[in-house]
Structure 1
Amino acid sequence: MKKKLKVGFWEFVARIVLKNRIAILGLIFLITLFLGLQWKNIRFSFTEANLLPDNNIVNKEYNAFLKEFGEEGNLIVVGIKDEAFFTPKVFTAWNKLMLDFKSQKEIDLVVSVSDLKKLQKNEAIESFELVPFADQSKTNDQAYLNGLKKDLFTKLPFYEGLLFNNKETIRSAIYMDKEIVNTAARKDYILNDFIPKIEAFEKETGVDLRVSGMPYIRTLNAKSITDEISLFIGASLFITSLIFFFFFRSFRATLISMLIVIIGVMWTFGLLGLFHYEITVLTAIVPSLVIVIGIPNCIFLTNKYQQEFRAHGNKARALQRVITKVGTATLMTNLTTAAGFATFIITQSELLKEFGIISSLSIIALFFLCLIVIPIYYSYQPVPKDKHLEHLSRNYTKVFISWIEKMVKYNRRYVYAVAIFLFLISCVGALKIQTSGSLIEDMPKNTGFFQDILFFEKEFNGVMPLEITIDTQRKKGVMKLSTMRKMDEFQKTIEEIPELSKPISILNLVKYSKQAYYNGNPEYYDLPTSQEQSFILGYAKNGTKNSKENIMKSYVDSTGQVARITTFMKDIGTGNMAKIEDKLWAKINTIFPKDRYKVSMTGKALVFEKGTKYLLDNLVSSILFAIFLISMLMVFMFRSFKMVVVSLIPNLLPLMITAGLMGYFGIPLKPSTILVFSIAFGLSVDDTIHFLAQYRQELTNNNWKIKKSVFATIKESGISMFYTSVVLFAGFSVFMLSDFGGTVALGGLIAITLAFGMLSNLMLLPCLVLTLNKSLANEQEFIEPKIDVLDHLDEAEDN
């Protein structure tokens, strides 16, 4: 006689799904179609990752600078270190190349040796004028070019550090139109026009050119990220599907799993378009995360279906139990994974918020997709054959699970001893972790553009702009001799710092004006005296102030109140940058009285460094929030404090081991590696939930006998936990194929954390359950949960 049971939530879901298969598949198709139409809104980010909140003082200062002086990252530099430069063939080709650039609408200004203008005094009109440095009619004469070379390096200190260095390396400064620097037009121009011209020059002359500067770096770096999206999606699909097939030996199971995660990826891109989010270095990895996280869902559901079918041979009942028996547990595992990503939503950084929103929504959507599609799919398929069920009793899984059981049963002390030992040495390693924050540190190091960055760092001390603005708080205050002397003293401090390049400011033009007034004698490249100031500046005012070719035009605001000093810095990391910043501020506070001058320091490199520090400051709060959120989910599931304790310890240990490895192997904390902890914690807890959910079921089946229930749980859930951990390990290892150091570190560290997490959940977790409940005389202290973790249908259906 069949017992009358109250219909549970997941029973209701199972009935709805299996009775309305066509309608539900149609709904999924419509959702996919709708999100597919949102792809038209997808766009790639054309600016660097800004990790700071919009209302942060650093962002406010940077935006104020942009408003006053415009985009500072618009300089492209083209360098050449070859004695052949001052030969007729190469010099002529160089001149032609620069004229081509100058004629293009995307370029604002080109300053090059080939058509260099020098400042010259015109006594007749008491003005300075710009005259050509080179006579183009004589550039076919080798002797003339030799003299030109000598004059350049000895008579034009104004251009030293900008167009040449003391090692006789030459470069051109090409300023892009500020209006297109942060748009798609920049990418089109660099890839389709600028680079082909550079390659044509190299082919014609046989001379190697070096190219760098923020517009160029950002374009090629973005192209590398775009190229890697397809690489990661393809590699993730291949490796996870291969492992899935190896475990299940079923083309049907593998194909439906691939189809589900492909739909999940389409939904992710659709969500990006729907919310009008840009594809950044973070959101670019979400589609691959969907694949890596989706396949374990498919494994648990497929494995459960096959286990149920093997147990009683009833296909309909097996399909129903796929939903009813693991519905809540699988939902909770996906919620904890999503929670690990969702912690980034509480930050004030828009970049991290968008990453957290897209990844968490994608994971929850993927859960429902798996839970619905897999039972529907198998309802139309023939029953599993014996060969499809062989994996449930393969020798290598039996050996592995048997070893786990022996360790838990007979060597619990050794498990605790190893765990404590790993924790202690990991704490030591964690104390060695360094921090790092740099715009170029994680860029692909095997690319030509990265090698060019290193070239300019060596020859010109870097290409990353650092901007200092000096507000004199009065109109025309910049041109006061007292202000210029203070600026000169400050610039000398900058020149003494080896990581910074020679600074550029209005001061350079004032010094050059004095040199020009004294007929170009380089010995007079200096600030004018108070006696010289009036007539030299009088010449300057009548001269080049309205000329587009005046490179100094953007180094003083329109009122003459605010001066700008630009220097470039090497890739020096967060710690060194902070030291340099402190040194500069110490000098600023000494020579610029706060009651008369308002000084600010900004620039992309500094904003990025501050963003890294902001992330580090929020790392602990982010992890604590993830722990709190997941703990609340565990309380909601089990309503037992002990279950929270036993669930957290096995998952915090792998995080500490990862931190220790980072310290020992010199992997710094930076924007990419900071993400590891919250993501890995959310994923690692999945195994804990599956274990404890199955453990609760086994308690009811085994009359609340703890030991018997623990070992039954290891046998029942161990295989699925092993399978999913292998998939996750391999899936995240795919990121190590990246050319980006940060992505490699992210993938490798999460993979290692999850591997330790699996062992911790299969060994340390059951040991803790046995130890913490030892005093209960074989009766588990379990309060009835708020929701059923597992629906108990077996007895009712069997009667």
Structure 2
Amino acid sequence: MTFWTKIAGFILRNRYLVLIAIAIVTGLLVTQIKYMRFSYTEANLLPEDHQANIQYNQFLDIFGEEGNLVILGVKDSTIFTPVKFNAWNKLVKELDSVKEVAFSVSIADVKELKADRKQRKFVLEPLFKKAPTTNEEVAKIKKQLFENLPFYNNLLYNDKGTLQTAIYIDKAIVNTPARKDFITKRLIPTVEKFEKDHQIDVRMSGMPYIRTINSQNIIDEMQLFVLGALGITALIFFFFFRSFRATFITLLVVGIGVIWAFGFIGFFRYEITVLSALIPPLIIVIGVPNAVFLINKYQQEIKKHGNQAKSLQRVISKIGNATLMTNITTASGFATFVFVKSSLLREFGILASVNIISIFILALLIIPILYSFMPLPKEKHLNHLEKKWMENIVSWMERMVKEQRITIYITTVIVIILSMIGVYQIRVSGSLIEDMPKKAQFYKDIKFFETEFGGIMPLEILIDTKREKGVMKLSTLKKMEKLNEAIQTFPELSKPISITNLVKYSKQAYYKGNPKYYQLPTSQEKAHIFAFSKNSNTNSGMLNNFVDSTGRYTRITTFMKDVGTDKMDIIQGRLDAVIKKEFPKEKFTVSMTGKALVFLKGTNYLIKNLVISLSLAILLISIFMAWMFRSFKMIFISLVPNMLPLLITAGLMGFFSIPIKPSTILVFSIAFGISVDDTIHFLAKYRQELLANNWKIKPAVYAALQETGVSMFYTSIVLFFGFLVFTISSFGGTIALGGLVSVTLLLAMVSNLLLLPSLLLSFEKRIANKKVLKESNFKILPPKEEANKEI
């Protein structure tokens, strides 16, 4: 009696005990769902000890959270009429009064810096003291702001007449649920009311706003994916099996699997991210093929002899082990992410692999037990086993393998050559907003601010002068100004903001507000202007935003457009050249940082690690093959049909200009882990037939093709449409993931049903013997002789 025969006996003799155990585990995991929480921070793709993270954390320690800015923008000429102008200022003041807002900077708050010659100090005076009531008064304010106050250019206005308001959220709530409440319950309703009352289109952006809306889209899509995956897989399943009973059992298994998936997310205290949100629908898509193999085998056995007890035992003993191996290989594909030094990928890998093994256990236990309580399937439910169209497909595959092997090999070689050409055209990319929904209003608003003000993603340059009060030395300021001028040569970057802006504004104020003096002071002027600054408190608030309390550290802030890693590398290289020239290392330490830059660095890091992860998956699955078949030639034969689809997909990405980025490189590890399942099922059946046919390879290959071909076809179609569900997403990365995995798995099916049997037949003399194909360390399927002795 084999191990799996004992397992089958235990399951079928202890049906009620097993079901009670499943109910208890399900109940316990349901209690964990309450611990599931949504991510309120950006995904950090880098390990904590990475240089980019160290530099970013140093910046945060000195200047605090930089992602707390929400921007409101208006491009409407009617805003410069008394009613609307005053209403806009009232809107900003209303938002400024909310406890979640630290402070705001808007046209209503504009202060003019003026020199008080008598007291030798600078004073701040409001741009206007009372609300304007006539068009002339508004026009006067606009003229003064736009023509005489260049300090506020690109900060509060641009030359096209577009206004911008900066709302700084309390840093303490930026990464908490309170941020979401403020954005959704206070900011958006208040702005929408203003839009409705005054017929003005207000644009909103900034990292807190984007993150809030984006995370809500992830939650909405997760529900959509679960329902979509359930719906599409149930329809396909029913189309193949034409049985409500079989469809109900399958949906019950994956339904419990989804509950377990949510439970495990809560149990591990993980956050819902753009990746972990894919776990529940992923479990549905991967769980259904388990049901296909188990139910298909059960119905085949019933059709052979009509004995339910024997059929259920054979389902567990003959398919259970092969299905365990396929699920282990699939889980291994995901588990390799655990070795990536990214918490985002590590959590995804752990959740996916744990849930894949869980859905296998659920299918193996629930399907045989539920069928044991039910009457035998009716003849009409078994008719799909002899469908003419399915028989024709299998016959066509047999004919191709028998008569057209040369054609298969020539086609394979041509496809490999074309794919290699495509691979060399692949580019690496990745940006913070690249995969966000292009049709969403918040994405259109991002593009609006890119066009009008140069971007919304902060790029920070941190300068350490290595001595106290080193920032305010004129030589340092001049070096910073040269770096500012270099930044302005990039169309992808906005006009920079730094302490030099404030110093130039001070000189302008010293010369009675004349805008032509908006420039750095000369060494002679510096003493007079800085003397005025020391005597006044007016600059201290602004100064704190640009310089630390010791005067040693300063920052230059610019905002980036949506640039990919390739462009960012060029920008960084050119800026580094200016930094190296202007800021000698022995006197200064200068580093570029900011959320967007950390993300771009993370993209490059992740791609390198995922290539290692894929290599590890291939190695791990090769070890499984070696353990199961104990033949290196069999490892080669089994890997070729699964590597080919990955190469074709990579080629297609090159031809269709789909870049390598975190979302698309995931495709290869996921698809490889799943597609190798078909190979294991085929080779397991092939080995069983080989033993039964006295090591005659041809009848063994054809018999394996006939029996596993139907199940492989069914599961591949289910997987194809299951992953295709992800293409309804509004996120570019999820669309790419779903579409590419679907295509890869379809190619893998063709490869496993045509190329794999062809290779087995071509290598007939080298592998069809006991010396090469030794007795397996693990009995994947019992030999046919043993099967006949089963109860």
TM-score, normalisation: structure 1: 0.97
2:666 alignment partner AA: L
Residue matched to 1:307: 300
Q: CA deviation at 1:640?
A: 1.1
Tell me which of 348, 351, 372 is aligned to 1:355: 348
Deviations 1:634-653 (A, max 9, x none): 11111111210111000000
Distance verdict in 2 for CA 1:531–1:260, change over 3 Å: same
Alignment of 1:56-135 (within 5 A): 56-135=50-129
| Partner Cα distance (1:379, 1:647) in 2 | 36
| Partner Cα distance (1:292, 1:586) in 2 | 50
| Partner Cα distance (2:67, 2:120) in 1 | 36
Deviations 1:430-486 (A, max 9, x none): 110011110000000001000011111111111111000000010111111111111
Q: CA deviation at 1:118?
A: 1.9
| Partner Cα distance (1:544, 1:495) in 2 | 31
Distance verdict in 2 for CA 1:533–1:368, change over 3 Å: same
Residue matched to 1:797: 789
Are the equivalent residues in 2 in contact too, given 1:130–1:544 (CA < 8 A)? Answer: no
SS in 2 for 1:121: strand
1:129 alignment partner AA: V
Are the equivalent residues in 2 in contact too, given 1:494–1:503 (CA < 8 A)? Answer: yes
1:738 alignment partner AA: S
Residue matched to 1:410: 403
Distance verdict in 2 for CA 1:177–1:249, change over 3 Å: same
| Partner Cα distance (2:18, 2:531) in 1 | 81
| Partner Cα distance (2:770, 2:9) in 1 | 35
Whether 2:442 is the aligned partner of 1:449: answer yes
1:707 alignment partner AA: K
Q: Percent identity?
A: 56
Residue matched to 2:237: 244
Alignment of 1:472-551 (within 5 A): 472-544=465-537, 550-551=541-542
Are the equivalent residues in 1 in contact too, given 2:695–2:768 (CA < 8 A)? Answer: no
Are the equivalent residues in 1 in contact too, given 2:533–2:539 (CA < 8 A)? Answer: no
Distance verdict in 2 for CA 1:633–1:435, change over 3 Å: same
Q: CA deviation at 1:542?
A: 3.3
Q: CA deviation at 1:392?
A: 0.4
Whether 2:342 is the aligned partner of 1:344: answer no
Residue matched to 1:599: 590
1:53 alignment partner AA: P
Alignment of 1:327-342 (within 5 A): 327-342=320-335
Whether 2:731 is the aligned partner of 1:737: answer no
| Partner Cα distance (2:134, 2:692) in 1 | 98
| Partner Cα distance (1:482, 1:101) in 2 | 41
| Partner Cα distance (2:788, 2:653) in 1 | 53
1:206 alignment partner AA: Q
| Partner Cα distance (2:393, 2:156) in 1 | 66
| Partner Cα distance (2:675, 2:436) in 1 | 29
Are the equivalent residues in 1 in contact too, given 2:158–2:453 (CA < 8 A)? Answer: yes
SS in 1 for 2:164: strand
1:797 alignment partner AA: K
Q: CA deviation at 1:513?
A: 1.1
Tell me which of 551, 564, 581 is aligned to 1:560: 551
Deviations 1:507-546 (A, max 9, x none): 1111111111222111111112222222322322333468
| Partner Cα distance (2:712, 2:737) in 1 | 22
Give structure 2 stretches of 5+ with no counterpart.
Answer: none
Distance verdict in 2 for CA 1:351–1:777, change over 3 Å: closer
| Partner Cα distance (2:118, 2:91) in 1 | 36
Residue matched to 1:11: 5
Are the equivalent residues in 1 in contact too, given 2:326–2:677 (CA < 8 A)? Answer: yes
Alignment of 1:606-645 (within 5 A): 606-645=597-636
Residue matched to 2:144: 151
| Partner Cα distance (2:14, 2:570) in 1 | 65
Q: CA deviation at 1:249?
A: 1.0
Are the equivalent residues in 1 in contact too, given 2:124–2:538 (CA < 8 A)? Answer: no
Are the equivalent residues in 1 in contact too, given 2:340–2:610 (CA < 8 A)? Answer: no
| Partner Cα distance (2:761, 2:755) in 1 | 10
Tell me which of 670, 684, 695 is aligned to 1:693: 684
| Partner Cα distance (1:166, 1:796) in 2 | 86
Q: What is the CA RMSD across the aligned residues, in angstroms?
A: 1.4
Residue matched to 1:4: none
Are the equivalent residues in 2 in contact too, given 1:773–1:780 (CA < 8 A)? Answer: no
Q: CA deviation at 1:780?
A: 8.2
Q: CA deviation at 1:559?
A: 0.8
Distance verdict in 2 for CA 1:790–1:531, change over 3 Å: same
Tell me which of 692, 698, 718 is aligned to 2:709: 718
Residue matched to 2:173: 180
Deviations 1:304-358 (A, max 9, x none): 1111111111000000111100121101100111111111111111111111101
Are the equivalent residues in 2 in contact too, given 1:478–1:563 (CA < 8 A)? Answer: yes
Distance verdict in 2 for CA 1:26–1:518, change over 3 Å: same
2:388 alignment partner AA: N
| Partner Cα distance (1:779, 1:670) in 2 | 46
1:94 alignment partner AA: W
Whether 2:212 is the aligned partner of 1:224: answer no
| Partner Cα distance (2:119, 2:369) in 1 | 89
SS in 1 for 2:488: helix
Q: Which moved more, 1:70-79 or 1:441-450?
A: 70-79
Alignment of 1:135-214 (within 5 A): 135-137=129-131, 139-214=132-207
Residue matched to 1:3: none
Are the equivalent residues in 2 in contact too, given 1:706–1:778 (CA < 8 A)? Answer: no
Alignment of 1:397-436 (within 5 A): 397-436=390-429
Whether 2:264 is the aligned partner of 1:271: answer yes
1:656 alignment partner AA: L
1:44 alignment partner AA: F
Residue matched to 1:673: 664
Are the equivalent residues in 2 in contact too, given 1:673–1:742 (CA < 8 A)? Answer: yes
SS in 2 for 1:616: helix
Residue matched to 1:298: 291
SS in 1 for 2:497: coil
| Partner Cα distance (2:771, 2:150) in 1 | 83
Are the equivalent residues in 2 in contact too, given 1:155–1:521 (CA < 8 A)? Answer: yes
Are the equivalent residues in 1 in contact too, given 2:332–2:353 (CA < 8 A)? Answer: yes
Distance verdict in 2 for CA 1:395–1:669, change over 3 Å: same
| Partner Cα distance (2:295, 2:536) in 1 | 80
| Partner Cα distance (1:669, 1:150) in 2 | 49
How many residues are matched?
790
SS in 1 for 2:194: helix
Are the equivalent residues in 2 in contact too, given 1:121–1:127 (CA < 8 A)? Answer: yes
Tell me which of 34, 42, 46 is aligned to 2:36: 42
Distance verdict in 2 for CA 1:45–1:798, change over 3 Å: closer
Deviations 1:387-426 (A, max 9, x none): 1101101111111111100100000000011111111100
1:397 alignment partner AA: M
Residue matched to 2:751: 760
Distance verdict in 2 for CA 1:739–1:795, change over 3 Å: closer
Residue matched to 1:372: 365
| Partner Cα distance (1:219, 1:552) in 2 | 30
| Partner Cα distance (2:487, 2:186) in 1 | 36
Q: CA deviation at 1:709?
A: 0.7
| Partner Cα distance (2:98, 2:776) in 1 | 70
